A = this chain, B = another copy of it.
């Protein structure tokens, strides 16, 4: 299949993720379609492994070129917890759980990491990642964003959490946007005649 004729499907059940990715890839004139089906996720300590496996199984099942995205919050003092299981941990413990685990801990460094994996049917998955460094606040603040946004202060910011920023402002730092930009650049390069 010619890559410049390729329609890429994003396998996700999260419409917000899809809209963010679509906006970023439009910068590269890449058309993204919504494959409203969450890719099967395996258990692994590595979000890259999880994304690769999901992309491969989604693209071979649907027989179309597919991207998937996996992301997590990695807290240094917690050995990278909650990492690949961030959404499960958020659902069970919320921001308060992470704050409690860090109470009395001076090391607050953390990062959000996103991995985008692209796979064509019968091909091997290719990965792209985006990271945003920061620290965990001492209390949850703000109602913007989702998940652990109210306790994450991006590097360079003094006080405000992601939860206190507008979507557009947060988007300038987004680990997900960074990973999709990496993919976009690679993809455009790969279809050059």
Residues of A within 8 A of B (CB): 40-43, 45, 50, 78-81, 83-85, 88-89, 91-93, 97, 100-101, 103
How far, in whole Å, are A85 and B84 apart by their CA atoms in the complex? 10
With A42-B40, A43-B42, A85-B85 known as contacts, the answer to whether A78 contacts B101 (CB < 8 A) is no
How far, in whole Å, are A85 and B78 apart by their CA atoms in the complex? 15
Count the copies: 2
Q: Which listed residue, B41, B80, B88, B103, touches A42 by the CB 8 Å rule?
A: B41
How far, in whole Å, are A101 and B96 apart by their CA atoms in the complex? 9
Find chain B residues with CB under 8 A from A45 CB. 88
Find chain B residues with CB under 8 A from A84 CB. 88
Do A78 and B100 have beta carbons less than 8 Å apart?
A: no
Q: Which listed residue, B41, B80, B83, B92, touches A43 by the CB 8 Å rule?
A: B41
Find chain B residues with CB under 8 A from A101 CB. 93, 97, 100-101
Q: In the complex, how many angstroms separate the beta carbon of A54 from the nearest chain B beta carbon?
A: 10
Find chain B residues with CB under 8 A from A40 CB. 42
Q: Which chain B residue has the least Cβ–Cβ distance from A88?
A: B85
Q: In the complex, how many angstroms separate the beta carbon of A104 from the nearest chain B beta carbon?
A: 9
Q: Which chain B residue has the least Cβ–Cβ distance from A41?
A: B43
How far, in whole Å, are A115 and B88 apart by their CA atoms in the complex? 20
How far, in whole Å, are A55 and B41 apart by their CA atoms in the complex? 16
Q: Which chain B residue has the least Cβ–Cβ distance from A102?
A: B100
How far, in whole Å, are A78 and B83 apart by their CA atoms in the complex? 18
- Which of A45, A80, A81, A103 gathers most chain B CB within 10 Å? A81
Q: Which chain B residue has the least Cβ–Cβ distance from A96?
A: B101
